[in-house]
Every structure is written in C-alpha cells, then in structure tokens.
C-alpha cells in the first residue's frame, strides 16, 4: 500500500511516497531558502506562491523516483497544521484534489507530531511512550507522547522558538539566513563561556522555554544597553565567541528541560525532531544527558530533522484506525492538538 504525502507548512515544498510498513520510496524537498534570504526571513506570500509553482512537478518527480504511477497510490496524507496558513492551504488543496481524483482516502496529520514520528520511522520499531522534544523555527515544545496518536503537551516556549532565536542572532551577527547552520559553523572554535548569557527557567520546575531575552542579551553584548541595533561585528573572536556562547545557552536549556521531562514522566525514551535537532552541539548534549539518565535517545538524521513530507507517515497510524480527514479539511495556523 503506497501513501503520497504533502508538506507545505513553511518554506519547504516536500512530497514523499512511503508504504504502510514505513519504507520511504521518495522524499523530495524543494527549499525556498534563496527566495527568502534577502528578506532575512520567510515571507508568507512568497512561500505560498512558490509552493503553488513547485508542488505538482514535485509529485511527478516523486512518482518517477519511486517508479510508480498515480494509480498506484492508495492514500493521500497531508500536514495541515500548524504553519503559515496560505502555505498550508496550497498543500491541503492539492491533497484534496488528488484524493478526489484517485478516489483514495485522505488523512491529515499534525506537523509538530510528525517531527517526532520521524524518530519512529528511523528506529524501525515502536518508540512510544516517550518524551518528545520538537525544536524548530516555529516551535519549541515538550510532549508526553503516550502513543503515535496521543500527544500531551508538557510545555512550550512562551515567546521565540529556539530556531527563531538562532535565526535572529544570526542576523545580529551578520551571518545570513537560515541562521541555525550559520551560527553552528561560526561557533566552531569559539569559547562557549566567553559571554555569560541568560538561561531562562533553567533552575525552575516548569517545563517552559523563553529565548527572546537571550537574543536581546546578545544584542546588548554587541552594542551595549539601550542600543536598538547596530552594525554586525566583523569576522573574528567577538563574533565566534558570541555565536558559541549563544549556542551553548540554548543547548544547556534544551538539555536540562529534557532531563526534567524524563524525570517527571518517569519515561526512559526521548525522541527529538525539528530543524534545530540537526545541531551537533545539541545532539552531543542530549546524548550525554540520556546516557547519564539511562534513557534511550532517538534523533533522526539531518534530512529527516528539517521539514520533509516523509514524516507525515504518522498518517499511516491514523489510516490503520480509520481516522480519515473530512472533505472540508482546512489549514490551521496554530497548534491545537492532534490534527
Ligand atoms: O523544522 P524546520 O526545518 O522548520 C520549521 O518547522 O520551523 O526548522 C527550521 C529551523 C530554522 O530556524 C533553522 O535556523 C534551524 O531550524 N536549524 C538549526 C540548524 N539547522 C536548522 N538550528 C541550529 N543548528 C542547526 N544546525
Ligand atoms: Zn518543522
């Protein structure tokens, strides 16, 4: 049984084909990074238009790679929430059209929960129940994942997401967009203790995150207090040390909150997804922490950490339970629990 899945929540158009036993036959991602780079962030209207141009050619290419015809597809899956509503709508509309034309069932899934499910796909075995951490450009959330179909939110960021902080600090340091990989590259060789930056809620019991103060602290470290903005620092020690200190502050908080979540829930498995999970420093920190806690760590390889349609295979679980999407399925911008 072949599933065709669509992801258009932000600035990556992605189409995947996978089977009901979770074998990935194609997972194509058309990135829009170049389109948005000069604006230093994703422009929603441009993203939606680019999805419209790229989606159907990507469907054709995925079928070609999987050596299948449209008629071989038995189910359509779409990530319909959360994300930029105009961007999501392109994927939702295309998915509905394909399901209708193929007389195939349509299954919707939640983008955030799908990031965790990428860990299940890679593990090749059940990973539930587990603690789930999603760290992306739009979200920093901890879950008690009771099963693939039951996610309980334990806590989330009260302001910026971790990836958003990486992107904003990259802009302050003149490192370009997207910021995560650029800050990580710059941080190599830097002193992570050079600047003392805030680690919000680190010693508090609550499983919440806050990264906007950290971003402001980087701004003050660069230009002094009460300076709104100034020129980016040139390449050199200041920039490298600030990048390393910032990255260390984010990693410390994420690792500490995951440890707290494991201890609070009594679970012995941690599954991590989202673009920031591609960060080597974070991966190393989580590996050391889970080893010390006697817990298992699941993090997908880079290509399944960042946005992709293969993670929509969480739809296979819903399909098994006959949880099909209604014909009036809509795109929903904010996270409101399982789609
Ligand atoms: O999951 P994702 O591809 O898209 C969203 O759903 O948001 O995550 C994108 C985010 C961006 O903010 C990007 O800067 C960040 O993930 N990111 C990283 C790294 N690679 C991507 N952050 C830190 N280190 C990285 N290596
Ligand atoms: Zn994502």
- pLDDT per residue rounded down to tens, the chain (339 residues): 999 999 999 999 999 999 999 999 999 999 998 888 888 788 999 999 999 999 999 999 999 999 999 999 999 999 999 999 999 999 999 999 999 999 999 999 999 999 999 999 999 999 999 999 999 999 999 999 999 999 999 999 999 999 999 999 999 999 988 899 999 999 999 999 999 999 999 999 999 999 999 999 999 999 988 777 788 888 999 999 999 999 999 999 999 999 999 999 999 999 999 999 999 999 999 999 999 999 999 999 999 999 999 999 999 999 999 999 999 999 999 988 776
Question: Quick one: tokens of 264?
Answer: 């609070």
Question: Around ion ligand 2, which residues have CB less than 5 A away?
Answer: 136, 307
Distance between Cα 313 and ligand 1 center (Å): 21
Q: What is the position in ligand 1's atom list of the atom closest to the CA of 274?
A: 1
pTM of the model: 0.94
* Cα radius of gyration (the chain): 20
Mutate which of 10, 135, 141, 163 for ligand 1? The one with the most ligand atoms within 8 Å of its CB, which is 163
Q: Which long-range contacts (CB under 8 A, 24 or more apart) does 327-332 make?
A: 327/96, 329/78, 329/80, 329/92, 329/95, 329/96, 329/106, 329/108, 330/80, 330/92, 331/80, 331/81, 331/83, 331/85, 331/88, 331/89, 331/91, 331/92, 332/80, 332/81, 332/82, 332/85, 332/88
The structure tokens 């469907």 sit at 59
Distance between Cα 320 and ligand 2 center (Å): 24
């Amino acid at each position: 049984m072949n599933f065709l899945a669509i992801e258009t929540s932000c600035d990556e158009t992605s189409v995947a084909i996978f089977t009901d036993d979770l074998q990935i036959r194609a997972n194509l991602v058309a990135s829009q990074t170049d389109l948005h780079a000069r604006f230093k962030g994703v422009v929603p209207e441009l993203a939606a238009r680019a999805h419209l141009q790229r989606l159907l050619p990507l469907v054709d290419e995925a079928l070609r790679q999987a050596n299948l015809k449209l008629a071989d597809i038995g189910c359509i899956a779409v990530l319909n929430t959360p994300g930029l509503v105009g961007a999501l709508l392109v994927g939702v509309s295309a998915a509905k059209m394909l399901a209708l034309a193929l007389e195939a069932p349509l299954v919707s899934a939640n983008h955030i929960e799908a990031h965790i499910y990428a860990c299940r796909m890679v593990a090749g075995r059940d990973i539930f129940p587990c603690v789930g951490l999603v760290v992306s450009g739009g979200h920093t959330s901890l879950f008690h994942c009771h099963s693939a179909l039951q996610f309980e939110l334990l806590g989330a960021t009260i302001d910026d997401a971790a990836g958003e902080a990486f992107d904003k600090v990259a802009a302050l340091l003149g490192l370009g967009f997207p910021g995560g990989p650029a800050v990580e590259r710059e941080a190599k060789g830097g002193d992570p203790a050079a600047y003392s930056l805030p680690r919000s809620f680190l010693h508090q019991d609550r499983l919440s995150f806050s990264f906007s103060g950290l971003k402001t602290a980087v701004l003050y470290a660069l230009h002094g207090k009460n300076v709104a903005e100034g020129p980016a620092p040139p390449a050199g020690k200041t920039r490298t040390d600030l990048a390393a200190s910032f990255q260390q502050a984010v990693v410390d908080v994420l690792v500490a909150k995951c440890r707290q979540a494991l201890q609070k829930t009594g679970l012995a498995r941690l599954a991590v997804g989202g673009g920031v999970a591609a960060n080597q420093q974070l991966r190393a920190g989580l590996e050391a922490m889970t080893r010390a806690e006697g817990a298992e760590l699941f993090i997908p390889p880079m290509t399944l950490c960042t946005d992709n349609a293969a993670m929509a295979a969480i739809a296979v679980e819903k399909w098994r339970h006959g949880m099909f999407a209604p014909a009036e399925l809509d795109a929903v911008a904010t996270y409101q629990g399982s789609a």
